Structure 1
Amino acid sequence: MRLFTLISLFILPFALACQPELIEDNNAIKPGAWHTNTYLPLLKGKNVAAVVNHTSHIGDTHLVDSLLAMGVNLKTIFAPEHGFRGEAGAGEHIQNSTDTRTGLPIISLYGSNKKPTPEQLEGIDIVVFDIQDVGARFYTYISTMHYVMEACAEQGKKMLILDRPNPNGYYVDGPVLEMEHQSFVGMHPIPVVHGLTVGELAQMINGEGWLPEGDTCDVEVIKVENYTHQDHYTLPIHPSPNLPNDQAVNLYPSLCFFEGTTMSIGRGTPFPFQVIGYPDPVFSVAAEEEMQAPDTLSFIPEDIEGVAMNPKHEGERCYGADLRKREPLTNLNLNYLIGFYQNASDLGISNEDFFREKFFDLLAGTEKLREQLTSGVTAQEIRRSWIDDLNQYKSMRKKYLLYEDFE
């Protein structure tokens, strides 16, 4: 460990020097992790654990490497879904292990151990959370944050959140989760697109008493510099294996509903979350004529290690909508969901075969969306049914904003 630290002391300044545009441009968006002068005094002399993954970088240098190089007494790495290096596919079990580069223990917070145990936090003074989110309720990194907050509150540990921009933070949309549908893909009564950074959401979790017994976590947020909710932020590192670019991140809130159906959204292809398809050519015609898709295509999902294990319709040619060139969305698009459901019904695909009912309802946070689809309710009518809940949420949200809003 000492050898690694000595080497890193030379590597870190060089790595930072390779990012002059992020350091010297006073108007550039700088994530919280960049502000080492602000948070290093909080870590000095403390035993530190870090909740991090492959997005936890200061320029080209991983936060873990940077903290060690700066003399921080880092004891443990906690890893969320997709693992510490981001090499595991969605839902893939993550094993506890040791980081070969630093020798630090890596404890998985995905699978059966979603919440740090008292034993895992024993001797830890402060927990640093630095993970890039994408602003959708069902993206599980924020569920991991909730459980870490819960554990820290119970064990009397301070939590330091190094905030990052929300690439979908310029709008709020979708049904608000009903708590009977709470799960790891939806922990809080917030809409699908919540319009918060992780730091803002942490403040909301505390402020609204969403931890068990209304407990609160001692949270300090290191803010992003030069960020507002009007910004369309380009992620410098893809946040998970199936969100490889800005287009996938932008489409993710609208297309993730299809995870609860028999339709493929391109897992097992080079363009996940940028296409929708099913093994019948009629869906190419429907996509072009009815769903406002700019292009159509066919594709064959294949097993890709670390990205898509056993994808839906593996080895079958799927036909449908190609959204890779679509203009960026500024709200949830229901046309795809309605269009593919209606065409599936016309083909004789039953509701039982179209929906993975329980999972679809967990993603939506309600049974109502599935019921509206099966009843033929229009997109406009579905949107109207969200208005009251969204207005209440937007009013609550304003109390916790750390950055200038989009309205």
Structure 2
Amino acid sequence: MKVLVIGAGGREHVLAHKLKQSPLVTKIFAIPGNDAMTEVAQVHTHIAETDHEQIVTFAKQNDIEWVVIGPEQPLTEGLADKLQEEDIKVFGPNKAAAQIEGSKLFAKQLMEKYEIPTAEYKEITNKQHALAYIESCEYPVVLKKDGLAAGKGVIIATTYDEAVAGVEELYPEEQGVVVFEQFLEGEEFSLMTFVNGDYAVPFDCIAQDHKRAFDNDLGPNTGGMGAYCPVPHIDQTILQRTNDEIAQPIAKAMLAEGYSFFGVLYIGAIITAEGPKVIEFNARFGDPEAQVLLTRMESDLMQHILDLEAKQPIAFQWKAQSVVGVMLASKGYPANYEKGKAVSGFNLDGNYFVSGLKKEEDTYVTSGGRVILALGEGSDIASAKAKVYEAVEQIKSDALFYRKDISDKAIR
């Protein structure tokens, strides 16, 4: 079958790489893709992922059987709906179901109604009320802008002054919806769950992301500076509770409310004294979690998608090795950064997945904040970490930075 991958980042790079390994797949296309994906897909960078009409036309003209949508924006804007109207199969939820990511408030209200464990919250719709609220709230407090923010619309304020700065940032105008949440203490992890209506199948391998820009979880939130899997110090009991108390209930809640979700639901969870609680939901694979999970996955991703569609049992198979991924980002990210800086020293054989590079003549130059993810595999997390930092050292560029402590929580 012919498969079209939508998106241009490292998540889409690994999706195309993994799907190409399936004997069920005859050809992979990518829109818009990136220049590094040409090894695994026919790339069409001239078509924007926001151009739904052109994507539908392309899919029909090329007899695409399945479209796999990587990023959140095409999902929340209804690309799946447009494709399904033309009887093209889509791995990714429709616009209504994608609200689970597109609106923080929608997700919190759903969890509250169906008693799914998460932080207590307050919705505030204008700046003056927000400034009044932070005068008496408990600290730390978490501020989340409603809507999509590419993983960066979250501010953890530990003091009143930080909260004031957060309010100023998240309310550029007087009106706007911001969710203020109780700060949860504990260790975070990412659980990908295949969902088709009320049929939910969590991955039996979890990953752990590193959101802050700098070592020791310091600095601003980013889209993710690295990840690893498995997470050996989080035991099966926690995963079972997450399935029983979060994954199964949210799938049933969505369906009960009239939102039939089909695709992968990302559960960003935290282990608290009361057990696992939800930090966030995403309507797609995490990035960089997808890169490490799909590298470790030995079973056929396309077969899993077909089994999910048919609500058949899904039998995951994983390599024995651990996988660690380290993101190299443009200096200045997630704030202002320069583009067009040369990057070399990497290969495209599955050890590196590209997020923000483009080719100018024979040279790759930076085109985004997060630029390239290096991978390392080993018999345990420590050996995988050693391998990944060897891969990082191969990359030649004076325009990039990276964290040096990815996966340390599993080694200490």
TM over 0.5: no
Give the number of the structure whose residues are more often helix, by fraction. Answer: 1
Larger radius of gyration: 1
Q: Output the TM-score relative to the length of structure 1.
A: 0.29
